[in-house]
Structure 1
Amino acid sequence: MKAGSRFLNAVSAVALSAGVVASGAGVITLASVSVAEAAVIQKIDVRGAERVGAEAVRDNITIKPGKSFSPADIDNSVKQLYATGYFSDVHVTVSGSTLVIAVKENQLINAVVFNGNHKIKDDKLQGIVQTHAAGPYSESQIQADIKTIKDAYAAIGRNEVQVTTQTVQVAQGRVNVAFVINEGERTKIDKINFTGNQAYSSGRLASVISTKKTNFMSFLTRKDVYSPERQQADQDALRQFYYNHGYADFRIVSADATLNEQTNEYTLNFNVDEGPRYTYGDINVVSTVEGINADDLKSLVITHKGDVYSAKDIQASIENISKRVAAAGYPFAHITPRGNRDLAGHTIGIEYLVDQGERAYVERIEIRGNTRTRDYVIRREFDLNEGDAFNQEMITRAKRRLDALGYFTKVDITTAPGSAPDRVVVIVNVEDQPTGSFGIGAGYAVGNNGGLLLEASVEEKNFLGRGQYIRLAAGAGTQGSRTYNISFTEPYFLGYRLAAGFDIFRNQTSSDDNYDYSEEGFSLRVTAPITETLATTLRYNYKRLQYDGTGDWQNNLSAPYINLVENSPWVQSTVSQTFTYNTLDDQNLPREGIIAKFTHEYAGLGGDSDFYKLSGKARYYKMISDEADIIGSLTVGAGYVLPTNGKLNVFDQFTIGGREIRGFENAGIGPRSSHGDPLGGTTYFTASAEASMPMPGVPQDIGLRLAAFADAGTLYGNKADLFGDVLHDSSSIRASLGAGVIWSSPFGVIRVDYAVPVLKQDFDKTENFRFGIANQF
């Protein structure tokens, strides 16, 4: 009797506390009554769950028959049912020993459509909204999706977008949902202002940040889109720029963006404090790790007393020391740079301290945010795995590699404590970006063999999210020119850091109406990194060459070319190795660094060619004036080929001209036949000096630069069979002077050059004007 009384009292208390009122917005109000004892029910009665089913309701509550529960359990159960999104109203009561749950179901969505959208396609919007067909209709979710759509449009520069919804009843309990989008006009960037800068002009700083003022090409570049994330990235870019140019005290006082709602244009403001410029003071290395001699590490440091302070060089020195120490068997050693500022003399002495550091292991690497790129594509850029010793320098190196891939708009790597004090969780947050592109390229050369060439290409740098590169290109032009190319690269062949791939090509053209020339073939290649800046590539190359005479070719062609026509086709089968050294700070517009290539090639694996060929080219970039953004470059090149079995073919020898020494035609210098046909040479040398600067009076955002250059070189020597023809040959230096206009356009780097030969031979072929457009954008 007493037990029954206690149960009834408890049930009464629960009934009082279970009066639930649910608004359309899903807000729940519960009467709060303290319960001395928890209640127990024997049965759960579900009412109104016609589509969802009673069992699904029971599965989403915490109350179970035969187990005690409290008002808090009812509160949690009601919230949990609302969280499913299937109900617009939930009411819970207790009747005797039965818990009664009365629900009102949300309508089901029959279809979701988008109207008015042109800049963002349906499939993209379907992927970002949470409202989907066959799901429940939820007003709160609809509002969240509207915000998501607006954010997506803001990311492409359309802050004026308006989004509303329409619903249409199509059946009992089913509706169609339409998101109606008014995309509005693009939000532009009218001004980018810098204040407080003295060492560098506002135009120079504008070239450092990624956000640009709106101009006539902005609809292609999309660099005039404002976002808080991009502005933060611009601030980081400014800091790195100043830190790498000696301004260790640089700080951004403020950065803001103001939207003029009447014109729908932003004004960006950066207020900076540059501080003094520092040079390095005394440089030292100190080791507290037994077995590590600090003197042995000094040669790895690239910061030197008297040089301009650079945070980039300090980081590179830390990485060099870290690699050497880790290789010596001290994976936990930590390298810390300690600065000693001399404020009066504006110097900073650096002491690199090598100490034992804390023992920590990588518990796991978590990849987040990648919606397209596969996890393993990101993981393989790390030189450490789960269970390895944690090394901060390796983390920094992995971030640099991930940034360089071009797959992501942002890469953030952080750490979190693991399951034990000596365990670390590495968290990699990335954001995928489009990696496919359609390119249009063009070139024009004046001269007998010149003309216009147009090329269209499609490329994907992250094919199917696997990190693979594929490119298809086709071109056509005057003089009957046709080009076709297919390239594919797997950057991690067989799981190793080996970039393996192939190229398939076919090219054809005409020459002076005397013969048609075509070549087709393929190459197989594999590239292996030796260091972070040095790599080697092995290739097998197969080429089939066809010469076909046209018109009165037997009278108009020289004897060597008559032989080429009469004995076509020719086959060239070679193997080659190339070493590439690259320290450029920017692959598109380098300002500092070196890129150098050396190749040796052997022909004789079948086919008609037998030779050994050496060639190389190096280009050095250096800032002549940081303030005026004047970039200087020096280029040198050389090559030599010798036969390994008798004589060379004409097509085995080198040909150079306007590409190396402007002011001359392609293949415009070097040995020639009595008919003026280029025969090529066995030996060449080239050199070039150039300086470029922003075009005066034009905003640097446009990307126009002026260049002045001087080119020189020679090509001589012949070991091909001339069949009695006369040879014009001279090792005399050819040289030219000229000027050019460079435009970093969305289609690639457009360049127009005008050069005048100042040293030449009578039999050389000249060409003053050259125009070309790269095929990347």
Structure 2
Amino acid sequence: MAGYLGGDRCPLRPILTGGPTAVKHVLTDHHHPSRPPPRRRSVPSLVILLSLLIPLLSPIQGQDPPRIVAISLEGLDRLAEAEVLARMKIQVGDLWEPAELDAEYQRLWTSGDFLFIEAPLVTEVPEGVRITIRLEEKRPVVEVVFDGLQGLSESTITDTLRTEEGELLDRQSLANDREEVRHQFLQLGYRFVEVDTEVSDVEGGKRVVFVIREGPQVRIGSVFFDGAESFTSDALLEQISSKPRTQFFGIPNDGNLIEERLENDVEMLKAFYVRKGHFDATISIDRILYSSELEHAEVVFSIEEGPRYSVRAIEFEIEGERVFSVERLTEEVGISPGDDWDGDLVDVATNALRRLYSERAYIEARIVPSVVYSLEGFDLVLRFSIVEGEKIHVDEIQIRGNAETRDRVIRRQLVFFPGDEFRSDRVQDSWSNLNRLQYFTAVGVSTEGGDSPQRRNVAVQVEEGSTGRALFGIGITTGRGIIGSFSIQKRNFDITDFPTSIGDLPDAFTGGGQTLVLEAQPGTEYSRYRFDFREPNFLESLMSLSIRGYKSAYIREDYIEERGASEIAVGRQFLFDYNLRTEISYRHEKVSVVDVTSTAPQIVADSEGTTKISAVELSASYDRRKFRQMIGAVDGWNARGGFEIAGGPLGEELDLYRGTLSLGLYRTVFVQGEDLRHIITFKNNFAWEETFGDSTFVPIFERFYLGGAGTLRGFRYRGVGPRENGRPIGGTKRHYGSLEYTWPLAENTIRGIIFTDFGNISEETTGFDLDLYRVSLGAGVQVNVPFFGQPLPISFTWAEAIQSQPDDVPQEFLFDIGWNF
């Protein structure tokens, strides 16, 4: 009779028995059934073995193979024999083929139900052959126990394990889980951890115990760099993650001694040295010294710096029209012969060259730096290979993604047009302008093929966000009592977009680029009602039109102030520079000061009654800021100056001059990953006013005040400046500013803030000596909360007044909701 060949999944001991011609074939090494199956035989060797042996073990040529008369499965407990037999492809009555039995054996293994399968026993009987297969089932895990677990929570470990209660016990999975547990402890600095497993039979299945001997958690006490001469230890520590634990709850450095970190740190140090010109440097971990309790370690890196290479010359290989002279390119690079090699400066120079070409419309210029080593010495040639390509012009401009916003609203923010040179600085300005609108959650600019190799179609892709808010609320505020609030604030408003049906109402009045604010705030001590409408391109021109009106009443401590005003403004943008805007506005206002108490300051008593104001303001602004989503201004500067005259030839009861000037500087100092920016902001605001004609004093309601959010943090609202009887009376000259640093804590959703605010307010210019200025230092976070599809910035800040005057009122904590409208 023919023999049987085992498959490549598991070594077999196929046995053929029966009759006087019984033969046994043992094809693999014997192994004990309680041990896991040996490693799989390789497929090529199995194929060769099959090709040699199957002909020898097959039925004799011309003789029909016997039939299978019985299949017996032994060792089953959890599974029923009939269930397993029903899964099998070979059945009683089939012709016996060794290859089919081998395939069946493989299927049983791959089912995952069995811990061990013996080689099938094939017995010859008069009617044919009887097949017997002995199996050992996998048993379910009834209980998983962690013995000695202290440094990690059980839930943290079990989340990553495959050995779970209710699952079948698999020895390979258990071995992997044992290594996973050990790995988790190693990642926390448990350098000497040992993990074993114990498996025992219990009622209903298996009990698995992970026996953990944690040992001490090893923290890095100090790090040394033997052989480091060119760089300080602090500079090298910045390159690695294995460093002593920081005091504030281990944030950001936990101080754990982890092998993977050390290996990565060696590579990071090598990269740093190469980047700084030490091309021959070698780095290794020299030694790790442990404390007697094994809880602290001293890590010593061995550094052989080698020589630092220098730049012998700078060369340019230029393919193209040579748009720039070598002198101009060298000036842009900013690296001189004799300088030490610095890869960071080379990256900066490469980007500067790309920007130089792209700002001249060579947007496809390829610039690649390379190094030419000298045969002798330690200097090299820095060579820039430049393929200039063609100057690209704008062909068509396509607007995409704007389901609601009119094309014209987007196009008027662009500062490039069909036929223009496609310059990167103009693209950046256009992108910034679109971000500034806050209509879109994403803005992208890309190019596609045009009518000729020198022309490109430009696609402006936008993703629209919600641009309207309807707010209802009620609150209690310090100094303003109980206030109710109802407001509708709509950017990208369109006064002509009437709804065609009730279903169209949510999308109506949208897409025209206008601004609308309707606000009602009734309260017990303070009430305000406001209307504001602005059309930035009136009648599709460069002119803007704004109409505003408000009415308010404020019950102050010594009097009641009631105001009502209307205002109209016309602005102008200029073709020669879209960043420049001018505006002229007219304001007519009626102010009443009533119910003045006997203890009120004299300036309040003098202001009692009704005053009408007629005023015109001329203003100009210049804005070179770059904007990003969620952050706001990230680079550039802006300035605004205004001069207002009230009364005089305009009539009414108050004759007043007023001048204002504001300046803002913004600078990105560092970028992490994808647009995660560290930004420094410096702002200053100046204001001055004085009366003329028949007016002899500036009334209480037109004076300047200082303190609180938006002016001087660390002090209460109106808590800085001249006071009478403990009441703020304001001033006629004011200066305040801030220096602020912000950085991302959780993407751009949460940003950290540190700042210093400064300012002063006075009646006279002599009150602006530096020792009279108020100064505060503070820190906080700004959270951009998604709100109706828009980021709603909420800031929490703490500030300490480090320079103040006796009558000032400090306020350390400030909560502020900033509406970027």
Contact map agreement 1:650 1:679 (CA 8 A) in 2: no
For residues 406-446 of structure 1, give each alpha carbon's deviation from its aligned partner in whole angstroms, at most 9, with x where no partner exists: xxxxxxxxxxxxxxxxxxxxxxxxxxxxxxxxxxxxxxxxx
The residue correspondences of 1:359-398 to structure 2 (distance < 5 A) are none
Report whether the alignment pairs 1:226 with 2:218. no
Contact 1:196 1:274 in 2 (8 A): yes
Give the drift of 1:234: 3.0
- Cα deviation for residue 225 of structure 1 reads 1.1
AA in 2 matched with 1:353: S
**1:739 CA drift (Å):** 13
Question: Which residue identity does 1:677 align to in structure 2?
Answer: P
Q: Structure 2 vs 1, CA of residues 715 and 738 (structure 1 numbering), >3 Å: closer, same or farther?
A: closer
1:273 aligns with 2:304: yes
Question: Where do 1:275-674 residues align within 5 Å?
Answer: 275=306, 282-288=313-319, 298=329, 302-305=333-336, 309-318=341-350, 335-340=367-372, 349-354=381-386, 510=478, 616-618=664-666, 636-639=682-685, 655=706
Structure 2 partner of 1:177:
208
How big is each residue's C-alpha offset from its partner over 1:499-524, in whole Å with a ceiling of 9 and x where there is no partner? 9999999997657xxx7698989999
Between the two proteins, what is the percent identity of the paired residues?
14
| Correspondence 1:120 to 2:152 | yes
C-alpha displacement at 1:103, in angstroms? 0.8
AA at the equivalent of 1:136:
L
For residues 111 and 141 of structure 1, what CA distance do their matches in structure 2 show? 16
Higher relative contact order (CA 8 A, sep 6+): 1
Q: List runs of 5+ in structure 1 lacking aligned partners.
A: 358-488, 527-537, 567-575, 588-593, 603-610, 623-632, 691-706, 718-726
Q: Check conservation: 1:339, 1:350, Cα contact below 8 A.
A: yes
Residues 669-678 or 144-153, more deviating = 669-678
With the length of structure 1 as denominator, give the TM-score of the two structures: 0.51
- Give CA-to-partner distance per residue, 1:389-412, whole Å, 9 cap, x none: xxxxxxxxxxxxxxxxxxxxxxxx
Query: Do the aligned partners of residues 162 and 689 (structure 1) sit closer, same or farther apart at CA in structure 2, a change above 3 Å counting?
Result: closer
In structure 2, relative to structure 1, the CA distance for the partners of 1:764 and 1:356 (3 Å cut) is same
* SS of equivalent to 1:25: coil
1:107–1:664 distance in 2 versus 1, CA, 3 Å: closer
The residue identity in structure 1 corresponding to 2:223 is: I
* SS of residue matched to 1:101: strand
Match of 1:90 in 2: 118
Q: Secondary structure at the match of 1:145?
A: helix
- What is the distance in 1 between the residues matched to 2:356 and 2:118? 66
Residue 135 of structure 2 is aligned to residue 103 of structure 1: yes
Q: Distance in 1 between matches of 2:355 and 2:66?
A: 67
User: Separation in 1 of the partners of 2:279 and 2:236?
Assistant: 17
Corresponding residue for residue 213 of structure 1: 244
Shift of 1:612: 11
Q: Please give the alpha-carbon distance, in whole angstroms, between the structure 1 residues aligned to 2:300 and 2:488.
A: 52
Q: Distance in 2 between matches of 1:117 and 1:601?
A: 68
| Cα displacement (A) at 1:156 | 1.8
Is 1:25 matched up with 2:35? yes
| 1:91 counterpart SS class | coil
3-state DSSP of counterpart to 1:353 = strand
Change over 3 Å in CA distance of 1:340–1:556 after alignment to 2: farther
Aligned partner of 2:185 among 135, 153, 156:
153
C-alpha distance in structure 1 between counterparts of 2:286 and 2:665, whole Å: 46
- Which one-letter code corresponds to 1:26 in the other structure? P
Change (3 A) 1:252 1:665: farther
Correspondent of 1:198 among 229, 240, 243: 229
Partner of 2:384, secondary structure, is strand
Q: CA deviation at 1:102?
A: 1.9
Residue in 1 that maps onto 2:293: 263
Aligned residues of 2:760 and 2:773 also touching (Cα < 8 A): no
Distance 1:665 1:86 in 2: 75
SS in 1 for 2:230: coil
In structure 1, give the amino acid aligned to 2:683. Answer: G
Q: Distance in 1 between matches of 2:123 and 2:358?
A: 72
Change (3 A) 1:686 1:169: same
- Larger C-alpha radius of gyration, 1 or 2? 2
Question: Is 2:728 the counterpart of 1:677?
Answer: yes
Deviation at 1:122, TM superposition (A): 3.5
User: Which residue does 2:284 correspond to in 1?
Assistant: 254
Q: What is the alpha-carbon distance in structure 2 between the residues aligned to residue 204 and residue 87 of structure 1?
A: 56
CA separation in 1, counterparts of 2:283 and 2:309? Answer: 20
1:287–1:293 CA contact under 8 A, matched in 2 = no
* Cα 1:269–1:670 shift into 2, 3 Å: same
Cα distance, 1:230 vs. partner?
A: 1.9
Matching of residue 35 in structure 1 with residue 53 in structure 2: yes
1:45 lines up with 2:76 in the alignment: no
Q: Structure 1 pair 765/125, CA: closer, same or farther in 2 (3 Å)?
A: same
Q: How does 1:44-63 map to 2 (within 5 A)?
A: 45=71, 47=73, 48-52=75-79
Residue identity opposite 2:228 in structure 1: N
Question: Could you tell me whether the CA contact under 8 Å between 2:244 and 2:253 is conserved in 1?
Answer: no
Corresponding residue for residue 734 of structure 1? 770
Asked whether the equivalents of residues 599 and 615 of structure 1 are also in contact (C-alpha less than 8 Å), the reply is yes
Letter in 1 for 2:728: D
Question: What SS is found at the alignment partner of 2:222?
Answer: strand
**Distance (whole Å) between structure 1 residues aligned to residue 375 and residue 722 of structure 2:** 63
Q: Which amino acid aligns with 1:171?
A: E
SS of alignment partner, residue 728 of structure 2:
coil
**1:189 and 1:639, CA in 2 relative to 1: closer, same or farther beyond 3 A?**
same
CA distance in 2 between partners of 1:231 and 1:502 (Å): 52
Query: Structure 2 length as normaliser, TM-score?
Result: 0.48
One-letter code aligned to 1:152: Q
Whole-Å separation in 2 of the counterparts to 1:80 and 1:563: 101
Distance in 2 separating the partners of 1:737 and 1:679:
15
Offset at 1:16? 3.9
TM-superposed deviation, 1:136: 2.0
Map Cα deviations across residues 360-390 of structure 1 (whole Å, 9 max, x no partner). Answer: xxxxxxxxxxxxxxxxxxxxxxxxxxxxxxx
Distance across 2 between alignment mates of 1:218 and 1:100:
64
Please report how far the alpha carbon of residue 14 of structure 1 lies from its aligned counterpart in structure 2 after TM superposition: 8.2
- Alpha-carbon separation, structure 2, partners of 1:562 and 1:146: 84
CA contact (8 A) 1:636 1:686 kept: yes
Q: Distance in 2 between matches of 1:271 and 1:539?
A: 64
SS where residue 153 of structure 1 aligns?
Answer: helix
AA partner of residue 53 (structure 2): V
In the aligned structure 2, how far is the partner of 1:199 from the partner of 1:689?
A: 34
